[in-house]
């Protein structure tokens, strides 16, 4: 998907919500587990249908599928196909956090962009340029590089100071030079919203994928205050708060209500 | 697999060779592709049988399987099952370079350790403690953390200087405190063999998984000179040089000859 189309969808829906599809069979409502062979896929379909009107992106985290082996991988493929067929205007992020030497990164890029038809994949930057660049060579596809994550361990390395600058800023600055605002985004955790000021000085125009609002304690208001740009420039991801809003027969309805609630809050940031 | 058992196998075979199983259908001999439905699995089986006498470990790189979607994932599962059934004394590394927030890393750990029954998984450290620790909570399983990689991009971030110390040394020092020499190893690229001196000062006893000998230009002799410890303490990985030693009907025989050649060189380092 092009940047222009993503921005168009955001403005149309007055939403920059991304729904994280992290299906955990220990949390999926019992009646779904009893009803169907492919529990994960059925659960996802219902969540997708209920939340699609209020979000502009979906983000399956591949770990939650790989954990179930071949059948999990099938659920992931079916989920992505379902979204692409029924909601072709939604931006699809494979949250895989990959990154390897050049020829291996190319294999991953082909897997996620060509085979699975994802619009974007999340990338771990530790291995440097040749691990990131292969993901930038596909038309209208995106690499979303981990900048500053929302977890506690983000302080272990990402916030180390190098020549008066935190490593995550160095990572963002360096990676931004390998791509551009049409093929690269950054993951920036919402739990460190005030750090967005410095990030926005480095990359005023890039989109940021922001996890950590809700379950991990981040605030939508804070993120918007420091992170919005002229094109909105944010995709705020919520997973658990939405997909596990309920765990009975009406779980999808409750997920939709939760997504709408966030969408309603987001509408304030549009003229 | 326990550290004791791994060391025992190394001494028994006088080998610390790991064979990387990175099957690329564009490089697999034509007669295999014509012969069988599951090309990758058949190719792997023949490589495994031919090289098993000369190596102590196998390392499938998961990207090369995921690139083929569900069927690739099936090939990976079958390959690992084949190794575990026929060569239970070989150490099995899933080269997946994973790392995510705590609950997601736990999903990956379950996927690779419980479901696939791998002995070890490679881990990207950028997200810090809670992304690494879940992999340390499985008995006789190993996290192999990326320290200093063998690719060109290793200089982009890993070699940045923080308080007079390179980032990769800080990563090794910090991660080593989260685990111990019985559940953690580090990836250290062979192309930077002289840097092993400083690494060995930090972690004299840990095993190091060393890619980059051969195709990427590293030297076995250099790596041994700076990296060996009292228990050998190295797993030297070769992929392309061995598995694509030939591309005709006798490709497996040639792979075996290549593996034996490396094994013969390694024998000099045993008393």
Q: pLDDT of A234-251, one tens digit each? A: 999 999 999 999 999 999
Torsion sign, CA atoms A162, A165, A168, A171: negative
Q: What does DSSP say about strands A17-21 and A57-60: parallel, antiparallel, or unpaired?
A: parallel
B129 in helix, strand or coil?
helix
Mean pLDDT over A253-260 rounds to 98
pLDDT for residue B35: 65
pLDDT at A217 over 80: no
pLDDT of residue A237: 97
Cross-chain Cβ contact B154/A127 below 8 Å:
yes
- When pLDDT is averaged across residues B129-138 and rounded to a whole number, the result is 96
**Per the CB < 8 Å rule, is A64 touching B104?**
yes
Q: Where are the alpha helices (DSSP H) in chain A?
A: 3-13, 30-35, 39-51, 63-66, 69-86, 102-109, 129-132, 167-178, 196-202, 220-227, 240-243, 251-267
Q: Tell me the pTM.
A: 0.96
CA angle B180/B8/B85 to nearest 5° reads: 95
Confidence of residue B44 (pLDDT cuts 50, 70, 90): very high
Q: Do B64 and A104 touch (CB under 8 A)?
A: yes
Cβ distance A70 to B63 less than 8 Å, yes or no, reads: no
- pLDDT band of A216, cuts 50, 70, 90: confident
Q: Which residues of chain A make contact with B160, given a CB cutoff of 8 A?
A: 162, 167, 170
A122: nearest CA partner in chain B: B100
Domains of chain B: 3-266 (3.20.20.70)
- Marked catalytic residue, from B11, B84, B97, B170: B97
pLDDT at A10: 98
ipTM here: 0.94
Residue A97 bears catalytic tag: yes
Sign of the alpha-carbon dihedral angle for A26, A32, A38, A42: negative
**Could you read off the pLDDT of B99-129 as tens digits, one per residue?**
998 889 999 999 999 999 999 999 999 999 9
Residues paired with residue A238 on neighbouring β-strands, in sequence order: A19
- Give A67 to chain B, closest Cα distance, Å: 4
Q: What angle do CA A92, A40, A69 make, to 5 degrees?
A: 90
Q: Do A107 and B67 touch (CB under 8 A)?
A: yes
B128 closest CB neighbour out of A74, A108, A154: A154
C-alpha distances out from residue B257 to B32, B51, B117, B187, B263, Å = 20, 8, 29, 26, 10
Contact A160 B167 (CB under 8 A): yes
Tokens 């192999």 correspond to: B144
Q: What is the mean pLDDT of residues A153-161?
A: 95
Please list every residue in chain B whose beta carbon sits closer than 8 Å to the beta carbon of residue A78. none
Comparing C-alpha atoms, which of B231, B230, B193 is closest to residue B210? Answer: B193
> 10 Å Cβ neighbour count for A194?
9
CA distance A98 to B61: 12
Which DSSP symbol is given to A203?
-
Task: Nearest by CB to B70, from A74, A104, A108: name it.
Answer: A74
Q: CB neighbours of B58 closer than 8 A, spacing ≥ 6?
A: B18, B19, B20, B21, B48, B83, B87, B90, B91, B92, B93
The CA distance from B198 to A17, in Å, is 47
Contacts of B2 (CB under 8 A, 6+ apart): B140, B182
Query: Got the DSSP string for A155-180?
Result: GTTTT-EETTEEHHHHHHHHHHHHS-
Q: Which residue has the higher pLDDT, B14 or A70?
A: B14
Which tens digit of pLDDT belongs to each residue from A59-91? Answer: 999 999 998 889 999 999 999 999 999 999 999
* Residues of chain B positioned with their CB less than 8 A from the CB of A121: none
Model pLDDT for residues B52-73, shown as the tens digit of each residue? 999 999 999 999 998 888 899 9
The predicted pLDDT at position A36 comes to 61
CB contact under 8 A, B167 and A171: no
* Whether the Cβ atoms of residue B27 and residue B247 lie closer than 8 Å to each other: yes
For residue A33, what are the contacts with CB-CB under 8 A and spacing of at least 6? A25, A39
pLDDT given at position B88 = 97
**Test mutation, A23, A60, A66, A162, chain B, max B CBs within 10 A:** A66
What pLDDT is attached to residue A130? 94
The predicted-structure confidence for B188-238, as pLDDT tens digits, reads as follows 998 777 799 999 999 999 999 999 888 777 889 999 999 999 999 999 999
Tens digits of residue pLDDT in B148-198: 998 999 999 999 999 899 999 999 999 999 999 999 999 999 877 779 999
pLDDT per residue over B79-101, tens digit each?
Answer: 999 999 999 999 999 999 999 98
CB B256 within 8 A of CB B50: yes
Testing the interface with A: which of B61, B100, B135, B177 to mutate, by most A Cβ within 10 A? Answer: B100
Quick one: pLDDT at residue B154? 94
Q: How many residues does the structure list for chain A?
A: 271
* Number of CB pairs, chain A paired with chain B, less than 8 A apart: 175
């Amino acid at each position: 998907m092009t940047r222009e189309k993503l921005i168009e969808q955001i403005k149309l829906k007055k939403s920059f919500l991304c729904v994280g599809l992290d299906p955990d069979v220990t949390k999926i409502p019992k009646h779904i587990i009893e009803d169907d062979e492919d529990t994960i896929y059925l659960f996802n379909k219902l969540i997708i249908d209920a939340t699609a009107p209020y979000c502009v992106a979906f983000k399956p985290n591949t770990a939650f599928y790989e954990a179930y082996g071949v059948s999990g991988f099938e659920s992931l493929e079916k989920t992505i196909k379902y979204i692409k067929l029924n909601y072709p205007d939604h931006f699809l992020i494979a949250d895989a956090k990959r990154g390897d030497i050049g020829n291996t990164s190319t294999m991953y890029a082909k897997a996620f962009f060509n085979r699975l038809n994802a619009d974007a994949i999340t990338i771990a930057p530790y291995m440097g340029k040749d691990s990131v660049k292969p993901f930038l060579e596909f038309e209208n596809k995106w690499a979303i590089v981990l900048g500053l994550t929302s977890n506690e361990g983000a302080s272990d390395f990402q916030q180390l100071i190098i020549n008066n600058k935190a490593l995550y800023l160095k990572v963002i600055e360096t990676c931004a030079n390998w791509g551009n605002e049409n093929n690269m985004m950054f993951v920036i955790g919402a739990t460190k919203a005030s750090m967005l000021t410095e990030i926005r000085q480095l990359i005023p125009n890039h989109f940021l994928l922001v996890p950590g609002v809700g379950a991990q304690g981040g605030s939508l208001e804070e993120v918007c205050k420091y992170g919005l740009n002229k094109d909105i420039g944010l995709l705020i991801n919520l997973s658990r708060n939405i997909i596990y809003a309920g765990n009975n027969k009406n779980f999808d309805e409750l997920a939709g209500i939760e997504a709408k609630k966030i969408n309603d809050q987001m509408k304030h940031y549009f003229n």
